[in-house]
Amino acid sequence: MTKRSRAALIIYLFLVTSTFGFLQPFSPLYLESAGLTRDQIGWVFGLGSGIALVLQPLWGRLSDRFDTRRPFIILSALASGIAYLAFRGAGSFGAFLALTAVGANGLLYLNSVGGVLIGRLVQSSQGGAAYAGYRVWGSVGYILVTLATGLLLNPRGLKLDRPILDQVFTFGPLLFFSIATVAFFLPDAKDLKRAAVAAGKAPISENLRWFLLSYFLYIFALYGASNFLSLFMKELGGSSLWITAMFAGGVICEVLVMRVSGKFSDDFGRRPLLAITYLLLPFRLMLYVAMVSPMGVLVVQLLHGINFGIMGAISIAMVNDLADNTNRGQSQSRLAATAGLASTVAPIVFGRIAQSLGLKAMFAAASLMAFAGMVVFLLKVCETHLGCKPIADRGPRRLAWFLKLLDAPPGR
């Protein structure tokens, strides 16, 4: 790969993930400032993501059939940028729902296709470190954008009403137009013979089925609850700077973890690291229930570094392990569609709980869902990286039972 292609990939992931830096903290606040209830906010995020269930697998199969990603990236980026710019003119539940559907679907494809591009360029034995090495630049972009937004949006601690939040959706969506420009420089070499083989639907292995189920439960719990974190911070008296600092703190830890998680997974397997993040998530979500101040929530959010610093890179590498260049787009689109399904149902369910019982009850419910995902992963999902070194052979004997559980399901 040329230096220009490498630089284009870094800039692409930087820009794609940086868009989450303004969307994740401020979309819920914007919808609330527009007069939507928590229940309606859940429906907007849920149904808005539901369109991915139809389009993401189709996008994956088409990109494999024609063996190209660039046109799909450009169209997705332009659609998302226009949709989020139009937030400022929306005035009803239906308008926000339609715009979120277009924006979220485009963003979901932009996020997943990075794994496809990198997976085509590196060997499976180096896939974890390679993807993490590129993806970490996305986390840097997130940190810069979210902190800059918090500082520039409301430096004097004024009320976060709609006129102030309009600024977020004036400048933030411009990032998507930058993504469309960078797409022209991305490595997108074609292999039409392989593309012809990819015309059919790729099979799904039993191991991938179990992983997708556990991934669904994980994303359901984590991001279903995260949709309401900024509202929770506001409820506890946090300003816009507190909110952005909370999200940025978690992503700073994510950068530190991601820098080592990819290489570790190449040496010792994908499953041990993923098992750790599945074990941590129920505990982390339950901790939010006990928080009574913005500082407490910020501290708990630092654990996001372990959760997504592992899951954000290693889930991509695991799916790439189970694919080849004829079906990599389909495989990654299935991962994206699974996230889309979770992102469709979770905000609706958690929005109803938050509206009826409060945000702390919602976090408790999310913790139970995360526990279910942990059980599925530990009991059913096997290692996908052949030739890795089991960690049970290298750890203390007292912890042998635990390390064996990280290496493989019981009895395997």
pLDDT tens-place string over residues 240-266: 788 888 988 888 888 888 878 878 888
Look at residue 130 in the predicted model and tell me its pLDDT. Answer: 66
Look at residue 301 in the predicted model and tell me its pLDDT. Answer: 92
- The burial class, CB within 10 Å (0-12 / 13-18 / 19+), for 306 is buried
Distances (CA, A) of 180 to 8, 74, 336: 12, 5, 20
At residue 200, does pLDDT exceed 60?
Answer: no
At residue 199, does pLDDT exceed 60?
Answer: no
The mean per-residue pLDDT over the stretch 295-318 comes to 88
At residue 51, does pLDDT exceed 80?
Answer: no
Residue 133: which pLDDT band, with cuts at 50, 70 and 90? confident
- Is residue 345 within 8 A of residue 220, CB to CB? The reply is yes
Distances (CA, A) of 82 to 77, 103, 145, 243: 9, 8, 19, 26
At residue 402, does pLDDT exceed 50?
Answer: yes
The mean per-residue pLDDT over the stretch 354-374 comes to 95
DSSP secondary structure letters along 128-188: HHHHHHHHHHHHHHHHHHHHHHHHHH-TT-----HHHHTTHHHHTTHHHHHHHHHGGGS--
Cα 37 off chain centre by: 25
Q: What is the DSSP letter of 67?
A: T
| Residues 6 or more apart in contact with residue 148 via CB below 8 angstroms | none
Look at residue 197 in the predicted model and tell me its pLDDT. Answer: 46
Distances (CA, A) of 120 to 11, 79, 199, 360: 18, 26, 18, 43
Instruction: Name the amino acid, one letter, at 127.
Output: G
For the record, the structure tokens of 176 come out as 């998507």
At residue 137, does pLDDT exceed 90?
Answer: no
The mean per-residue pLDDT over the stretch 387-411 comes to 81
The mean per-residue pLDDT over the stretch 201-217 comes to 85
The mean per-residue pLDDT over the stretch 61-72 comes to 74
Single pTM value for the model:
0.77
Q: How far apart are the first and last CA of the chain?
A: 39
Tens digits of per-residue pLDDT, 326-361? Answer: 666 677 778 877 887 888 889 999 999 999 999 999
Tens digits of per-residue pLDDT, 91-122? Answer: 899 999 999 989 988 888 888 777 667 666 65
- Is residue 127 within 8 A of residue 317, CB to CB? The reply is yes
Look at residue 412 in the predicted model and tell me its pLDDT. Answer: 73
The mean per-residue pLDDT over the stretch 352-380 comes to 95
Of the listed ranges 137-151, 188-202, 348-362, the least confidently predicted one is 188-202
3-state secondary structure of 412: coil
Look at residue 396 in the predicted model and tell me its pLDDT. Answer: 77
At residue 198, does pLDDT exceed 50?
Answer: no
The mean per-residue pLDDT over the stretch 53-76 comes to 75
The mean per-residue pLDDT over the stretch 363-379 comes to 96
Look at residue 118 in the predicted model and tell me its pLDDT. Answer: 67
Q: Calculate what percentage of the chain has a pLDDT beyond 70.
A: 85
Look at residue 149 in the predicted model and tell me its pLDDT. Answer: 86
The mean per-residue pLDDT over the stretch 312-330 comes to 76
| Residues 6 or more apart in contact with residue 171 via CB below 8 angstroms | none
